[in-house]
Copies of this chain bind each other. A is one copy, B any other.
Amino acid sequence: MNQNYIIPNEWSIIEEGFDPQHIKSSESIFSIGNGAMGQRANFEENYSGDTFQGSYIAGVYYPDKTRVGWWKNGYPEYFAKVLNAPNWIGIHVTVNGEELDLNTCKSISKFRRELNMKEGWLSRSFEAKLQNGTHIEVKSIRFLSLALDEVGAISYSVTPINSAAEIQFAPYIDAGITNEDSNWDDQFWNIEEIKQKEDASFIVAKTMKTHFYTCTFMKSHLYKNGQEIKSAIKHNQSENKITSSYTISVQPNDTATLQKFGGYVVDRNHPKNELGAAAMNVIEKATSFGFDNLLELQKEEWSKIWSMADITIDGDVKAQQGIRFNIFQLNQTYLGKDANLNIGPKGFTGEKYGGSTYWDTEAYCIPFYMATKDQEVARKLLEYRYRHLDKAIENAGKLGFSNGAALYPMVTMNGEECHNEWEITFEEIHRNGAIAFAIYNYERYTQDYSYIPEKGLEVLIGIARFWHQRANFSTNQNKYVILGVTGPNEYENNVNNNWYTNYSAQWCINYALECIDYVKINHISDYIRIKQKTNFTDEELGAWKKVSDTMYFPYSEEHNVFLQQDGFLDKELITVADLDQKQRPINQHWSWDRILRSPYIKQADVLQGFYFFEDHFSVEELERHFDFYEPFTVHESSLSPCVHSVQAAKLGRMEQAYIFYLRTSRLDLDDYNHEVHEGLHITSMAGTWMSIVEGFGGMRVKDGILSFTPQIPSQWKGFSFKINFRNQILKVNVCQGHTHFELDNGDELTILVNNKPVVVSPNKLVTV
């Protein structure tokens, strides 16, 4: 744990007291978003101290020219960057001629921030003594509307305490912004139009190269003690910024408030030559609601989200705060409204990892969205990959594959690969497996087979073709092998026969063949269409099957375990427990070659396979592999502890499971990895949810039946979660000694609890 200043609270994230050292961390933690846009918790007023300004629009990125030491054939030309978008939250605040700036005040007291997760708003309040002696109280509240997702709202109040004061609010929009993360310090935005109309302001800007057009807008209203004041507004316009000034004189304890609406409209949703009109339309709608009504709507929308997604933990406030923070941030990042969007590893809270889509979505996020949203949302996430199938085929083509073989990109914004370390981009091909597995997982959970004939099967065929071509027959092993890969454990590069990759490849081929057979019998017209489109032949399917049937898997007779890859046992097998703790995390202390030749595992690799394909292995096999690999695992990926927590729970090792859970649930709040200032670990938050629902709750779907094996950490009195299972909401409440199940509507549902059938009827509590 690297920080401990967040005040425990069941529903809110709270910071009290002003500490400049916490600014960048809090800017990440208190981030707000509504799926369409998001922003770090930067102050509205000017702040001259150390800060990381960030405001981001979903789907707006920049193809930053790749930077490498030595170019290699096949490298993508660019690395997509999430773009810092024009700032619309800014308000210059001047009190008796002095600009408010928390970095230059004489003193600050009663500083408090609250991110209210239940209702979806961010507030801040403090008292400040300015250099000119004026003593003021400031309160602000801000939210990004879920109801009108192109708009955000700010209410910013100043109350002079010791004297009358002339207060000037100068809200602005500013397109003169830069990225923290940029390869060549290129200019990313080009300003197309900057204008002011009916006291509203607009800047139309387009991104360089990608030519995304956006209109950033604002309109403000001034109030004195709650009464709107129609003061003279002065507008000021420079090359890339518009400022409007509102001046008011108030007596001591009078409150001057500026309410500001602002946000973005983008050409993904509107014709690019009508962005100004669209923005004006949004402003009018927001103004007609008014700040208070819009805030009420916000609370309603969040209430709906929580009604399906909430997890309660009884008897552990920090754990409760942690899990709600994870669920809240996931929902701020992606709500499933737009199949063009996806889930970036840092959401809207920072710029690292380019804001792009990784295999994290399929491997970690889909279970969460599938169980806490309408199942259309998970389907949209699958469709995202279907829409990128042509690009995945093109990508595989660049690496020498043919005949419709598809390799999905490691990192992408639009289906094109945009990562450029050869050992990742070219070799971390197991991502294809997770993308196929997500299709299976969706079908298993929802029983919505329709996705497969409609779209999924084409993806599965492209992926099966890739594996068929990527494996080669080794006369030496008399088996098919897969050489030169990087598995999920990125602390190994360019290894031969990574067990997880080989196993995924085999499974992908088998699943594709199975789906082809099923679609042929049950969806004949889709079958004919797909067969014509993809031109597969029986001969080809036979060739796939040969690869799958004779796939090689590295195995140790001595340890009776599958080996993570060929040669793993040649390493110096010193467990993490016996490693000098001063050397940890090894990625901050060791050179890359030393990490690579060590036995240390960054994140679940063989165990990731046991997680995906758990039905293929006995509990004894899991235990053996867990006991063999976990001692070498350093968990230096945020995606590692969750899988281990689920597996430990399955093995009935609840103490160990709980320790892994703690590590994932408050990773950012307590800043375990000392990097929260860069942004939050959004995709691993879905892993936290997994630890509770699949780990402690033991939720699975077995032969089409929903199943639970509830367990509870001894530290907790109880915990509950809700899931949407095939359009019915089931609430599961696990207590020490028993579990309650409750169904909200529909037909009765037979579930398995500890492998015994239990019938749950709507609105009737069942206790097991």
A residues at B contact (CB < 8 Å):
66-70, 72-74, 79, 398-400, 420-423, 426-427, 472-477, 481, 483-484, 493-497, 558, 566-567, 569-573, 587-594, 596-597
Contact = CB atoms under 8 A, between A and B. Distances in A.
Contacts of A73: 587-592
Closest 8 CB pairs of A and B: A74-B591, A426-B593, A484-B597, A476-B569, A483-B597, A474-B570, A472-B572, A72-B592
Contact of A571 (B472, B569, B572): B472
Given A67-B69, A474-B570, 15 more contacts: A67-B68, A69-B69, A69-B420, A70-B421, A73-B587, A74-B593, A399-B591, A400-B594, A422-B592, A477-B570, A494-B495, A494-B596, A497-B570, A566-B566, A567-B567
With a 10 A CB-CB cut-off, give which of A67, A421, A597 has the most chain B CB atoms: A597
Contacts of A494: 423, 493-495, 596
Given A70-B421, A572-B473, A593 B496 contact: no
Contacts of A473: 572
Contacts of A70: 421
B484 A593 contact: yes
Nearest to A497: B570
A270 to B, nearest CB: 36
A497 to B, nearest CB: 8
Nearest to A477: B570
A476 B489 CA distance: 22
A423 B68 CA distance: 14
A693 to B, nearest CB: 34
Nearest to A593: B426
Contact of A69 (B68, B483, B570, B596): B68
Contacts of A74: 590-593
Contacts of A495: 494
Contacts of A423: 494
A570 B474 CA distance: 5
Contacts of A68: 67-69
Contact of A591 (B67, B426, B497, B588): B426
Nearest to A567: B496
With a 10 A CB-CB cut-off, give which of A69, A398, A427, A475 has the most chain B CB atoms: A69
A475 B573 contact: yes
Contacts of A399: 591, 593-594
A484 B594 CA distance: 8
A681 to B, nearest CB: 18
B567 A72 contact: no
20 contacts: A66-B69, A67-B67, A68-B69, A72-B591, A73-B590, A74-B591, A399-B594, A400-B590, A400-B591, A426-B592, A472-B571, A474-B569, A474-B571, A476-B570, A477-B570, A494-B596, A496-B567, A496-B570, A566-B570, A567-B567
Nearest to A574: B472
B474 A398 contact: no
Nearest to A473: B572
A513 B644 CA distance: 48
Nearest to A476: B569
A422 B494 CA distance: 13
A483 B427 contact: no
A427 B423 CA distance: 14
A282 to B, nearest CB: 39
Contacts of A422: 592-593
A481 B572 CA distance: 10
Contacts of A589: 73
A72 B69 CA distance: 12
A565 to B, nearest CB: 10
A503 B588 CA distance: 32
Nearest to A492: B494
A301 to B, nearest CB: 39
A567 B569 contact: no
Given A67-B67, A69-B67, A591 B398 contact: yes
Contacts of A566: 566-567, 570
Contacts of A420: 69
A597 B483 CA distance: 6
A566 B496 CA distance: 10
With a 10 A CB-CB cut-off, give which of A70, A494, A496, A594 has the most chain B CB atoms: A494
A567 B398 contact: no
B483 A570 contact: yes
A558 to B, nearest CB: 8
Contacts of A493: 493-494
Nearest to A573: B475
A474 B597 CA distance: 12
A494 B484 CA distance: 10
Nearest to A571: B483
Contacts of A591: 72-74, 398-400, 426
